[in-house]
């Protein structure tokens, strides 16, 4: 019903093989579903609970698999009319992935990835992470009763994410280096010490994340938006969304496809550079730096998949500054009541920039994916905002202060 295939040399492998890249050429692997063996209708899916497993037929796990779930997915698709008016665009939505159990879209991938880890008989799982992957993996590993090791770049992981990884019982190893170095190390340690790797290089994890694309069109009553805007770090999510939508298109659930538009932070934008120069692979950025620590990534492993998704879909790639990101974070919070972390706000910043430059048409119907919750990184909010006003516990003084701020 499904198998693994190399996106570079097309070699195929059975699903039981515990591999993350092509043993023949080192290329990235992708799960290939046999869509003609799937039989389900929209009407059959309709009464099911929203979430990743609503689309169970499209999830490559065996019928007998013990599914590890925290009821992930089923997140709100907000129609954001205040922002729409301000930006002067036809129709605008924000998909709020911060509403997932661990507060980010990673949970969609981990429900499938950790289910697969158990199927393959793993006893320990690991990942390197800028934060959210570790928070998510730690919580799913906890329910599955698997040992969990996470490698985080020292001093560059937002506090909420670090706290979650610790809370859920992961063994946290702070690597004195950046995310790219941590990922390189964890890949090797997993190979040499028989630990199951759950970074997004793992093709099974991306199968869960493709439900983000499924859900967007489902929530729009099967009307396909013109464009989906996604923050890009390691290139897992943008490529997973595209894969899912292509499956729905080939299966016949939708009759067209959206443009995938990826946004990076200026200080960590290797995919934007590759896109502009027409390359299929990225030239790594040596010392990536951005306030959006989630996407502080210089050597994204799945870049060829995202470049393919953006080009095939007729989308775009754009980079935004830290200042634009923090401004967009406040716009979304203060006009729409939606609190997101900086990486997620990059999509709003990118949309604003691309509308202003005329690269995105104001006549479009657009969905921005807000990937993680504001509380993941409370420190950056405090640091980039006005300090609270102090006031003695005295009614007269308080009235003066209130009169001033009204």
Which residues make up the interface to ligand AN7 (CB under 6 A)? 104, 129-133, 200, 231-238, 294-295, 341, 343-344, 371-372
Least Å from the CB of residue 338 to ligand AN7:
14
Least Å from the CB of residue 209 to ligand AN7:
7
Ramachandran angles phi, psi of 77, nearest 5°: -110, 100
Least Å from the CB of residue 372 to ligand AN7:
3
| CB of 217 or CB of 241, closer to ligand AN7 | 241
Least Å from the CB of residue 235 to ligand AN7:
5
Least Å from the CB of residue 136 to ligand AN7:
8
Length of the chain: 406
Helices 303-313 and 236-251: angle between axes, nearest 10 degrees: 50
Query: Of 152, 114, 101, which is closest to residue 131 (Cα–Cα)?
Result: 152
| CB of 208 or CB of 236, closer to ligand AN7 | 236
Query: Of 354, 112, 70, which is closest to residue 229 (Cα–Cα)?
Result: 354
| CB of 115 or CB of 346, closer to ligand AN7 | 346
- Contact status, residue 142 vs residue 386, Cβ threshold 8 Å: no
- Contact status, residue 237 vs residue 293, Cβ threshold 8 Å: no
| Separation between Cα atoms, residue 391 and residue 275, nearest integer Å | 52
Query: Of 327, 320, 329, which is closest to residue 378 (Cα–Cα)?
Result: 329
| CB of 161 or CB of 227, closer to ligand AN7 | 161
Return the DSSP state at 177. S
Least Å from the CB of residue 109 to ligand AN7:
9
| CB of 216 or CB of 253, closer to ligand AN7 | 216
Give the CB-side neighbour count of residue 135, counting CA atoms within 13 A.
27
| CB of 60 or CB of 298, closer to ligand AN7 | 298
């Amino acid at each position: 019903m499904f198998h693994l295939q190399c996106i570079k040399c097309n070699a195929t492998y059975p699903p039981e093989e515990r591999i993350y890249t092509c043993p023949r050429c080192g290329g990235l692997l992708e799960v290939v579903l046999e869509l003609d063996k799937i039989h389900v209708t929209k009407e059959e899916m309709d009464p099911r609970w929203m979430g990743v497993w609503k689309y169970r037929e499209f999830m490559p796990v065996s019928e007998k698999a013990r599914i590890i779930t925290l009821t992930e997915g089923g997140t709100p698709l907000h129609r954001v009319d205040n922002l729409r008016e301000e930006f002067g665009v036809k129709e605008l939505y924000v998909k709020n992935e911060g509403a997932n159990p661990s507060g980010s879209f990673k949970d969609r991938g981990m429900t499938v990835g950790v289910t697969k880890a158990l199927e393959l008989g793993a006893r320990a799982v690991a990942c390197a992470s800028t934060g959210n992957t570790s928070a998510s993996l730690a919580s799913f590993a906890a329910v599955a009763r698997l040992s969990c090791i996470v490698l985080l770049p020292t001093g560059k992981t937002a506090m909420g994410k670090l706290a979650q990884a610790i809370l859920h019982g992961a063994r946290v190893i702070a690597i004195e280096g950046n995310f790219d170095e941590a990922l390189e190390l964890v890949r090797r340690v997993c190979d040499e010490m028989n630990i199951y790797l759950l970074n997004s290089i793992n093709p099974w994890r991306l199968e869960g994340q493709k439900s983000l694309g499924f859900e967007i069109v489902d929530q729009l009553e099967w009307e396909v938006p013109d464009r989906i805007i996604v923050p890009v770090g390691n290139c897992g999510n943008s490529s997973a969304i595209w894969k899912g939508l292509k499956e729905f298109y080939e299966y016949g659930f939708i009759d067209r496809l959206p443009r995938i538009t990826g946004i990076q932070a200026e200080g960590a934008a290797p995919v934007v550079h590759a896109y502009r120069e027409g390359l299929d692979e990225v030239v790594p950025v040596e010392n990536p730096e951005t306030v959006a620590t989630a996407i502080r990534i210089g050597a994204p492993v799945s870049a060829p998949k995202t470049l393919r998704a953006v080009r095939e879909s007729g989308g775009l790639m754009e980079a935004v500054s830290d200042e634009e990101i923090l401004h967009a974070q406040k716009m979304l919070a203060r006009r729409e009541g939606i609190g997101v972390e900086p990486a997620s706000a990059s999509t709003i910043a990118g949309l604003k920039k691309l509308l202003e430059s005329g690269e995105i048409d104001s006549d479009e119907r657009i969905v921005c994916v807000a990937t993680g919750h504001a509380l993941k990184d409370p420190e950056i909010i405090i640091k980039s905002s006005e300090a609270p006003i102090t006031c003695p516990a005295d009614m007269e003084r308080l009235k003066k202060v209130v009169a001033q701020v009204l």
